[in-house]
Amino acid sequence: MKPMAATFLCLALLFLSQFSLLASSASNNLSLGSSLSVENEADTLTSPNGLFSAGFFPVGKNAYCFGIWYTEPAAPAQNLTVVWIANRDKPVNGKSSKLTLQGNGNLILTDAGKYTIWSSNTVSNSLDRLSLNDNGNLVLQTLKGVALWESFASPTDTLLPQQQLTRNTKLVSSRSLTNYSSGFYSLFFDNDNTLRLLYDGPEVSSIYWHDPWLLSLQARRTPYNNSRVAVLDAMGNFSASDGLIVIAADYGTNLQRRLKADVDGNLRLYSRKQAGDTWVVSWQAIQQPCKIHGICGPNGLCTYDPSSGRKCSCLPGYEMRNKFDWAYGCQPATDGLNLSCKSSDRDQFDFMYLPRVEYYGYDFSIVVNTTLEKCKALCLELCDCPGFHYKFGGGHHNCYPKTQFRNGYRAPGFQGELYLKLPKSILSSYNAATKESNMCSSKLTSQLDRTYEKGKQNGSVKFMVKFASGLGGFEIVCIFVVWYFVARRGEEKEDSDVVTQGYLQAATGFRRFSYSELKKATRGFKEEIGRGGGGIVYKGVLSDQRIVAIKQLNGANQGEAEFLAEVSLIGKLYHMNLIEMWGYCAEGKHRLLVYEYMEHGSLAEKLSSEVLDLKTKFEIAVGTAKGLAYLHEECLEWVLHCDVKPQNILLDSNYNPKVADFGLSKLLNRNEVSNSNFSKIRGTRGYMAPEWVHNMPITSKVDVYSYGIVVLEMLTGKSPAESVQAIESGGETQKKMMVTWVKEKMHGAFTKTESRMGADYEQGRLEMLVKVALQCLEEDRDARPTMSQVVEMLLHHENN
């Protein structure tokens, strides 16, 4: 009978344990004296509404943390959306570790049954239980219902609705996507009472949000309210006592929301409708991810490409310090870079020129109004000077010798230049290609080349114009093959870059609209304000009173996911001279894009009404060039515009130009070219570069050509064909003649200028614009400047 009894006992035990397992998995509370074990996966607390769970979860091999996460998605365990962790820096063993609510009122976490790793440090003889509330708060409460301890009071990297960030708490990012321990980035209230983001790295620390060079009042924060409290509400309003108010893109609906200090140093607000949906970003603090400090470490250089995300690289002459972690940056390459200080060695050094590269902070000094030669000499003299910035400002050039290179990134908008000190031996091994600094654009261009058949090489502009005029319904498709390549280039993701991949809807305000919403905004698509470039544009007013331009795309019939992938790429491009896309709609057959509305309409309208003076025209030329340069630079050559014309240059209330309609052709179906007036034509007769006609490779230089035509048209008010003919009749780039001709056409722009000085200045501007336009119109695309060279030429003229 004994074996029988034993079997029975076993069965009973099994039954009992099964029962207790079920019971514990359904519980939302832990009573006095009981504990949760790491070994029993079902030992979790679940909030009454089922939204949150608390328990042990794996963080590595045989390493566990106790924390709170969203119950869904539950699998795999590594991908939990964790909102709080008790012991992030001290994971416990997978054997005999426990969370116990002791009789004396203390909640303790023990590792391997021995060591106390964490405790709530509470004592009470009237403790009731530990419970997980519907809002995600884990609370130790007394019999009277008083909260003795709560997880909301010690946030990890996430703030939930109703949870307050106070003077005593901060959000600290995780070390990486797979490592939950404390990372380098934190959100906290600074001594001046304002909320900030701090990079606190292995060697240095610095504040990077709000912009550190702004006084708090300039950043619209007040240092005068000492209450230091910030809170997020379920509607999507995150506001702080320093006056910061963040309104989520999807503000107004009661969604699941969380604010997180992400591993990449950005602060993001996430939302989703219900469990099981994926999280979308409805706000983020920093739009340009390379501006976050510390990401590429010392001597590292950050570049950002909306399609593949953020990338780190080392400066020439430097190599990665820790192969697996960019936080440690780069060090001088062991084979040769030795920034020696001996005066006898000085002539062995020279400088490498890197345009548009910014390293924030760590200046040795600032020397105002100096020459490049003097600046070089100074840096050679300083022992630790690895290079310097040379920037124009205040009417002269200034020199900023560096002590260290940190927070480095390349940005098309940055007007300074970096000179990197290197031994001549190293310098010579970096050829001109690297010096051009656009390290990947050459690669991209060659990819473009491959997709087009090389055509005949030459042909005159005149021929082109005639041919194009006779082109009739012949439609040309600008195929963004490189875009295609880049968008699908899945390899070489770095740890932090994987994060970026997920943020499809990251930019502020970029969101999805429903068709009915847009129908309402446009009052049934009533007010047409333009057409072309793939569809008709309507004016509308959103429910939050923002005025928008809504473009209804014709012939965009790819699937919703594909459409979204491409639209969100465009949505991520951000530059003051590019039209901002605020959202999109993809519903059934409808494909719409929502843009900011431009008060002054298009340049084309203003040109015909002749309201612009030369100064404004000059500024429009500069702004347009900057916008296009941004599209072309930063390895973004895949966003050629292909249809630069006055109709696509819009003007805001201050006559600042914004380039519109970029990146569209990929959205339109390229197989059916013949049955629509405005589907795939990239390029408009008169503005198209000769390459189109001759079936030559299409590069960013087609935009440069069209830009040249636009500038001429702006100056003369005459149609492209006339302008081009004038160039031809003017003979071999006879600038003087051209200028005279332009002047004649300019309807007395000069009679308005009063002083002689002013007239000289106007004359200078005019000559510069004509000169630039003529260079842009070179037949040979290699002879045309790049858009950023155009910007430099124009700005250089203004500064002198």
Ligand X SMILES: *[C@@H]1O[C@H](CO)[C@@H](O)[C@H](O)[C@H]1NC(C)=O
Residue with tokens 């001549």: 424
Collapsing DSSP to helix, strand or coil, 239 comes out as: strand
Contact region for ligand X (CB under 6 A) — 193-201, 335-343, 569-577, 601-609? 335-343
Collapsing DSSP to helix, strand or coil, 754 comes out as: coil
| Contact call for residue 559 and ligand X (CB under 6 A) | no
Q: Provide, rounded to whole angstroms, the least separation between the CB of residue 498 and ligand X.
A: 6
User: Of residues 3, 395, 470, 472, which one binds ligand X by CB under 6 A?
Assistant: 395
How far apart, in whole angstroms, are the C-alpha atoms of residue 294 and residue 209? Answer: 13
Contact region for ligand X (CB under 6 A) — 201-209, 221-229, 597-605, 688-696? 221-229
How far apart, in whole angstroms, are the C-alpha atoms of residue 455 and residue 593? Answer: 36
User: Of residues 14, 23, 74, 217, which one binds ligand X by CB under 6 A?
Assistant: 23
Q: What's the angle, vertex CA 266, arms to CA 265 and CA 267, rounded to 5?
A: 125
Does the N-terminal peptide bond of residue 73 adopt cis geometry, omega within 30 degrees of 0? Answer: yes
User: Of residues 96, 181, 558, 616, which one binds ligand X by CB under 6 A?
Assistant: 181
Q: In the complex with ligand X, which residue's Cβ is closer, 23 or 611? A: 23
How is residue 311 written in tokens?
A: 């990338």
Q: In the complex with ligand X, which residue's Cβ is closer, 270 or 480? A: 270
Q: Provide, rounded to whole angstroms, the least separation between the CB of residue 780 and ligand X.
A: 4
Residue with tokens 């990251």: 506
| Contact call for residue 396 and ligand X (CB under 6 A) | yes
| Contact call for residue 239 and ligand X (CB under 6 A) | yes
User: Of residues 29, 162, 437, 656, which one binds ligand X by CB under 6 A?
Assistant: 29
Contact region for ligand X (CB under 6 A) — 25-33, 274-282, 557-565, 712-720? 25-33
Q: In the complex with ligand X, which residue's Cβ is closer, 605 or 779? A: 779
| Contact call for residue 20 and ligand X (CB under 6 A) | no
- 472-501 residues near ligand X, rule: CB under 6 A: 498
The residues that bridge with 107 in the sheet, in sequence order, are 101
Q: At what angle do helices 614-632 and 787-799 cross, to 10 degrees?
A: 140
Contact region for ligand X (CB under 6 A) — 27-35, 164-172, 279-287, 564-572? 27-35
Q: Provide, rounded to whole angstroms, the least separation between the CB of residue 362 and ligand X.
A: 22
| Contact call for residue 514 and ligand X (CB under 6 A) | no
| Contact call for residue 457 and ligand X (CB under 6 A) | yes
How far apart, in whole angstroms, are the C-alpha atoms of residue 653 and residue 659? Answer: 15
How far apart, in whole angstroms, are the C-alpha atoms of residue 135 and residue 48? Answer: 10
Q: Provide, rounded to whole angstroms, the least separation between the CB of residue 743 and ligand X.
A: 28
| Contact call for residue 175 and ligand X (CB under 6 A) | yes
User: Of residues 25, 71, 179, 403, which one binds ligand X by CB under 6 A?
Assistant: 179
User: Of residues 18, 154, 254, 340, which one binds ligand X by CB under 6 A?
Assistant: 340
Contact region for ligand X (CB under 6 A) — 154-162, 173-181, 468-476, 605-613? 173-181
Non-local (6+) Cβ contacts of 83 within 8 A are: 52, 67, 68, 69, 70, 136, 156, 158, 160, 258
Q: In the complex with ligand X, which residue's Cβ is closer, 395 or 588? A: 395
How is residue 576 written in tokens?
A: 């003051």
Q: In the complex with ligand X, which residue's Cβ is closer, 251 or 484? A: 251
Q: In the complex with ligand X, which residue's Cβ is closer, 464 or 742? A: 464
- 138-157 residues near ligand X, rule: CB under 6 A: none
- Name the helix (H) or strand (E) containing 536: strand 535-541
| Contact call for residue 793 and ligand X (CB under 6 A) | no
How far apart, in whole angstroms, are the C-alpha atoms of residue 199 and residue 204? Answer: 8
| Contact call for residue 28 and ligand X (CB under 6 A) | yes
Q: At what angle do helices 720-729 and 701-716 cross, to 10 degrees?
A: 90
| Contact call for residue 227 and ligand X (CB under 6 A) | yes
Q: Provide, rounded to whole angstroms, the least separation between the CB of residue 749 and ligand X.
A: 30
- Contact predicate 415/407, CB 8 Å: no
How far apart, in whole angstroms, are the C-alpha atoms of residue 155 and residue 122? Answer: 18
Q: In the complex with ligand X, which residue's Cβ is closer, 251 or 360? A: 251
Q: In the complex with ligand X, which residue's Cβ is closer, 4 or 75? A: 75
Contact region for ligand X (CB under 6 A) — 137-145, 240-248, 408-416, 467-475? 240-248
Q: In the complex with ligand X, which residue's Cβ is closer, 344 or 755? A: 344
Residue with tokens 């959202």: 583
Contact region for ligand X (CB under 6 A) — 339-347, 411-419, 709-717, 757-765? 339-347
Non-local (6+) Cβ contacts of 800 within 8 A are: none
Site string for ligand X, 57-76 (x = CB under 6 A): ---x---------------x
| Contact call for residue 229 and ligand X (CB under 6 A) | yes
Q: Provide, rounded to whole angstroms, the least separation between the CB of residue 241 and ligand X.
A: 3
User: Of residues 613, 672, 728, 780, which one binds ligand X by CB under 6 A?
Assistant: 780
The reply to whether 782 belongs to the active site is no
Give the other-Cβ count within 10 Å of 469's Cβ: 11
| Contact call for residue 656 and ligand X (CB under 6 A) | no
Contact region for ligand X (CB under 6 A) — 23-31, 32-40, 478-486, 585-593? 23-31
- Contact predicate 189/200, CB 8 Å: no
How far apart, in whole angstroms, are the C-alpha atoms of residue 446 and residue 440? Answer: 10
Residue type, 464: M
How far apart, in whole angstroms, are the C-alpha atoms of residue 441 and residue 448? Answer: 10
Q: Applying CB under 6 A, what is the total number of residues that bind ligand X?
A: 33
Q: Three-state SS string across 431-450, please?
A: CHHHHCCCCCHHHHHHHHHH
* Size (the chain), residues: 800
| Contact call for residue 800 and ligand X (CB under 6 A) | no
Q: Looking at 264, 643, 661, 703, which residue is catalytic?
A: 643
Q: In the complex with ligand X, which residue's Cβ is closer, 245 or 757? A: 245
How far apart, in whole angstroms, are the C-alpha atoms of residue 747 and residue 617? Answer: 14
Q: Is 551 annotated as a binding residue?
A: yes
In degrees and rounded to multiples of 5, residue 451 shows phi and psi of -90, -10
Q: In the complex with ligand X, which residue's Cβ is closer, 151 or 716? A: 151
| Contact call for residue 93 and ligand X (CB under 6 A) | no
Q: What's the angle, vertex CA 32, arms to CA 26 and CA 34, rounded to 5?
A: 60
User: Of residues 1, 5, 245, 432, which one binds ligand X by CB under 6 A?
Assistant: 245
| Beta strands per DSSP E along 38-122 | 45-46, 52-60, 63-70, 82-85, 92-93, 98-101, 107-111, 115-119
Residue with tokens 């003889």: 125
How far apart, in whole angstroms, are the C-alpha atoms of residue 288 and residue 411? Answer: 9
| Contact call for residue 96 and ligand X (CB under 6 A) | no
Q: What's the angle, vertex CA 545, arms to CA 541 and CA 550, rounded to 5?
A: 30
How far apart, in whole angstroms, are the C-alpha atoms of residue 297 and residue 9? Answer: 62
List residues near ligand X by CB under 6 A. 23, 27-29, 60, 76, 79, 175, 179, 181, 225, 227, 229, 237, 239, 241, 245, 247, 338, 340, 342, 345, 369, 395-396, 457-458, 460, 498, 676-677, 779-780
* Binding site feature residues for ATP: 551
Instruction: Supply the residues annotated as catalytic.
Output: 643
* Binding site feature residues: 551
